[in-house]
Structure 1
Amino acid sequence: PAAVAPAPAPAPAPAALAKPPVVAAPAPAVERPALAPGETAVSALRIHGERGIELVAEGEAELQRDDTLLTADRVTYREPTDEVLAEGHVVLSRGGDTIRGPKATLVVGDRVGSFETPTYELSRARPPALAGDAPRTVAGSGQADLLRLEGENQYRLANATWTTCSPQDPDWYIKARELELDYDREVGTAHASSIVFMDTPIFWMPWAEFPLSGQRQSGLLPPTFGSSNKTGVDFTQPYYWNIAPNYDATLAPRIMTRRGVQFGGELRYLGEDSQGTTRLEWMPNDKVTGEERRLGSIQHQQRFAPNFYGTLDLNAVSDDGYFEDLSSNIGVASRVNLLREGRLIYAGGWWTASALAQRYQTLNPDPDVRNVEPYRRLPQLRLDAVRADLAGGMAGLLETEFVRFAHRERDRDEAARVVAYPQLSLPMQGAAWFVTPKAGVHYTSYDIDRVAATSGKPESITRSVPIVSLDSGLFFERETSYFGSDYLQTLEPRLFYLRVPSREQSDIPLFDTNRFDVGFAQIFAENRYSGSDRIGDANDLTAALTTRFIDAETGVERLRALIGQRYYFSDQKVYLYDEDELRRAGTGNEILAGLGGRITSTVTVDSYAQYNTETSRTERLNASVRYQPGFARTLNLSYRYAPNLRVDQDIVGLEDIDVSGQWPLARQWYGVGRVTHSLKDDRITEAVAGIEYDGGCWVFRTAVHRFAIDEDDVTNAIFIQLELNDLAGIGSNPLSLIKRSVPGYGKINDSSANRVFGNN
Structure 2
Amino acid sequence: MVMAGGMIKRLASSTILGCGVLIAGMMVSSHMAAAQTAGSETPQQDPAILFSADEVDYNRNLQTVTARGNVEIVREGRILLADTVSYDQSQDALTASGNVSITEPTGEVTFASYVELSGDFKEGIVKDIYVILDENTRIAGSGARRSGGNFTEIAKAVYSPCKVCEDEGSSATPLWRIRAARVLHDANSKTVEYKDARLEIAGVPVLYTPYLQHPDPTVKRQSGLLAPSFGSTSYVGSYFSQPYYWAIDKSKDMTFTPTYTTDEGPLLSTEYRQRFDSGEMEVLSSVTNDSNDDWQGHIDAEGRFDIDPTWRWGFDAEQATEKTYLSRYGFSSPSVLTSNLFTEGFRGASYTRADAYYFQGLKEDDDRDTTPIVLPHLQFHGQSAPAKYGSVTTLDLDGLSLTRDEGTNSHRVSATAGWELPHVGTMGDVTKLSLSLRSDNYLVSDVSRTDKENYSGYTGRLLPLAAIDWQMPFVSNQGNYQQVITPIAMAAWSPNGGNPEEIPNEDSQSFELDDINLFSHDRFGGLDRAEDGFRASYGLEWGVYGPQGGYTSAMFGQSYRANENDTFATGSGLDEHLSDYVGRVTVSPNSYLDLTYRYRLSNDDFSARRNQVTASAGSMDTIRINTTYVHFTDDAGSEEFDEREEFYFQAQRQFNQYWSGRAYGRYDVDQSDPLEYGIGFVYEDECFIFDGRIRRTFYEDQDLGESDEFLFRLVFKTLGEFESATGL
After superposition, residues 310-329 of structure 1 pair within 5 angstroms as 310-327=313-330
Amino acid at match of 2:309: P
In 1, Cα distance between equivalents of 2:2 and 2:608 = 91
1:517 is matched with which residue: 512, 519, 523?
A: 512
Match of 2:527 in 1: 532
Match of 1:56 in 2: 66
Please say if residues 657 and 679 of structure 1, whose CA atoms lie closer than 8 Å, have aligned partners that are also in contact. yes
Match of 1:724 in 2: 716
Q: Residue 403 in 1 paired to residue 400 in 2? A: yes
In 2, Cα distance between equivalents of 1:110 and 1:255 = 50
Match of 2:693 in 1: 703
Is the alpha carbon distance of 1:65 and 1:113 closer, same or farther for their aligned partners in structure 2, counting shifts above 3 Å? same
User: Deviations 1:613-653 (Å, cap 9, x if unpaired)?
Assistant: 23532122222332324547312333222225999976333
Match of 1:257 in 2: 262
Match of 2:285 in 1: 280
Q: Residue 144 in 1 paired to residue 141 in 2? A: yes
Is the alpha carbon distance of 1:158 and 1:572 closer, same or farther for their aligned partners in structure 2, counting shifts above 3 Å? farther
Deviation at 1:258, TM superposition (A): 0.6
In 1, Cα distance between equivalents of 2:274 and 2:304 = 10
Match of 2:446 in 1: 450
User: Deviations 1:201-244 (Å, cap 9, x if unpaired)?
Assistant: 45566343325236111112232212111111111122111111
In 1, Cα distance between equivalents of 2:579 and 2:601 = 11
User: Deviations 1:169-207 (Å, cap 9, x if unpaired)?
Assistant: 321224455545455665545566454322344556634
Is the alpha carbon distance of 1:588 and 1:360 closer, same or farther for their aligned partners in structure 2, counting shifts above 3 Å? closer
Is the alpha carbon distance of 1:34 and 1:549 closer, same or farther for their aligned partners in structure 2, counting shifts above 3 Å? farther
Match of 2:51 in 1: 41
Deviation at 1:400, TM superposition (A): 0.9
- What is the root-mean-square deviation of aligned Cα atoms in Å? 3.7
Is the alpha carbon distance of 1:608 and 1:648 closer, same or farther for their aligned partners in structure 2, counting shifts above 3 Å? closer
Please say if residues 362 and 372 of structure 1, whose CA atoms lie closer than 8 Å, have aligned partners that are also in contact. no
In 1, Cα distance between equivalents of 2:15 and 2:616 = 66
Is the alpha carbon distance of 1:384 and 1:151 closer, same or farther for their aligned partners in structure 2, counting shifts above 3 Å? farther
Is the alpha carbon distance of 1:443 and 1:151 closer, same or farther for their aligned partners in structure 2, counting shifts above 3 Å? farther
Is the alpha carbon distance of 1:389 and 1:81 closer, same or farther for their aligned partners in structure 2, counting shifts above 3 Å? farther
2:419 is matched with which residue: 419, 424, 427?
A: 424
Q: Residue 165 in 1 paired to residue 162 in 2? A: yes
In 1, Cα distance between equivalents of 2:151 and 2:328 = 49
In 2, Cα distance between equivalents of 1:208 and 1:652 = 60
Please say if residues 190 and 209 of structure 1, whose CA atoms lie closer than 8 Å, have aligned partners that are also in contact. no
Please say if residues 593 and 609 of structure 1, whose CA atoms lie closer than 8 Å, have aligned partners that are also in contact. yes
SS at 1:305 equivalent: coil
In 2, Cα distance between equivalents of 1:648 and 1:244 = 51
Deviation at 1:255, TM superposition (A): 0.6
TM-score (norm 1): 0.81
In 2, Cα distance between equivalents of 1:9 and 1:34 = 11
Amino acid at match of 1:353: T
2:675 is matched with which residue: 685, 693, 699?
A: 685
Match of 2:488 in 1: 494
Amino acid at match of 1:449: S
SS at 1:323 equivalent: helix
Deviation at 1:269, TM superposition (A): 0.9
Match of 2:39 in 1: none
Is the alpha carbon distance of 1:290 and 1:586 closer, same or farther for their aligned partners in structure 2, counting shifts above 3 Å? same
After superposition, residues 135-534 of structure 1 pair within 5 angstroms as 138-150=135-147, 155-166=152-163, 169-181=173-185, 187-190=191-194, 193-202=197-206, 206-210=211-215, 212-213=217-218, 215-283=220-288, 285-287=289-291, 289-327=292-330, 332=332, 334-364=333-363, 366=364, 374-408=371-405, 410=406, 412-429=407-424, 432-450=428-446, 455-457=453-455, 459-481=457-479, 486-503=480-497, 504-534=499-529
Match of 2:93 in 1: 83
In 2, Cα distance between equivalents of 1:614 and 1:522 = 21
User: Deviations 1:668-712 (Å, cap 9, x if unpaired)?
Assistant: 544320122110221111211122334553232211012344388
Please say if residues 79 and 102 of structure 2, whose CA atoms lie closer than 8 Å, have aligned partners that are also in contact. yes
Is the alpha carbon distance of 1:581 and 1:236 closer, same or farther for their aligned partners in structure 2, counting shifts above 3 Å? closer
Amino acid at match of 1:64: I
Please say if residues 336 and 371 of structure 1, whose CA atoms lie closer than 8 Å, have aligned partners that are also in contact. no
In 2, Cα distance between equivalents of 1:74 and 1:518 = 82
User: Deviations 1:701-756 (Å, cap 9, x if unpaired)?
Assistant: 21101234438822221111223345566xxxxxxxxxxxxxxxxxxxxxxxx347
Deviation at 1:537, TM superposition (A): 2.1
Match of 1:119 in 2: 130
Q: Mean Cα displacement is larger for which, 304-313 or 708-717?
A: 708-717
Q: How many residues align?
A: 688
Consecutive unaligned residues in structure 1, runs of 5 or more: 11-20, 124-137, 730-753
SS at 1:144 equivalent: strand
Deviation at 1:424, TM superposition (A): 0.8
Deviation at 1:262, TM superposition (A): 1.5
SS at 2:505 equivalent: coil
In 2, Cα distance between equivalents of 1:178 and 1:238 = 28
Deviation at 1:307, TM superposition (A): 2.1
SS at 2:557 equivalent: strand
SS at 1:353 equivalent: strand
Consecutive unaligned residues in structure 2, runs of 5 or more: 27-47, 165-169
Match of 2:666 in 1: 676
User: Deviations 1:426-482 (Å, cap 9, x if unpaired)?
Assistant: 12347954322111112111111126886354632111111222122233433324x
In 2, Cα distance between equivalents of 1:489 and 1:582 = 31
Please say if residues 568 and 574 of structure 2, whose CA atoms lie closer than 8 Å, have aligned partners that are also in contact. no
Please say if residues 430 and 471 of structure 2, whose CA atoms lie closer than 8 Å, have aligned partners that are also in contact. yes
Is the alpha carbon distance of 1:694 and 1:237 closer, same or farther for their aligned partners in structure 2, counting shifts above 3 Å? closer
Amino acid at match of 2:113: P
SS at 1:426 equivalent: strand
In 2, Cα distance between equivalents of 1:51 and 1:44 = 23
Q: Mean Cα displacement is larger for which, 343-352 or 201-210?
A: 201-210
SS at 1:710 equivalent: coil
In 2, Cα distance between equivalents of 1:81 and 1:492 = 88
Is the alpha carbon distance of 1:622 and 1:36 closer, same or farther for their aligned partners in structure 2, counting shifts above 3 Å? farther
Q: Mean Cα displacement is larger for which, 603-612 or 190-199?
A: 190-199
Match of 2:583 in 1: 592
Deviation at 1:121, TM superposition (A): 2.0
Is the alpha carbon distance of 1:629 and 1:456 closer, same or farther for their aligned partners in structure 2, counting shifts above 3 Å? closer
Is the alpha carbon distance of 1:297 and 1:507 closer, same or farther for their aligned partners in structure 2, counting shifts above 3 Å? same
In 1, Cα distance between equivalents of 2:280 and 2:503 = 41
Is the alpha carbon distance of 1:89 and 1:645 closer, same or farther for their aligned partners in structure 2, counting shifts above 3 Å? farther
Match of 1:738 in 2: none
Amino acid at match of 1:606: T
* Percent identity of equivalent pairs: 17
In 2, Cα distance between equivalents of 1:341 and 1:248 = 24
Amino acid at match of 2:392: A
In 1, Cα distance between equivalents of 2:491 and 2:89 = 90
Match of 1:26 in 2: 17
In 1, Cα distance between equivalents of 2:191 and 2:637 = 50
Match of 1:575 in 2: 567
Is the alpha carbon distance of 1:161 and 1:633 closer, same or farther for their aligned partners in structure 2, counting shifts above 3 Å? farther
In 1, Cα distance between equivalents of 2:353 and 2:255 = 34
Is the alpha carbon distance of 1:585 and 1:222 closer, same or farther for their aligned partners in structure 2, counting shifts above 3 Å? closer
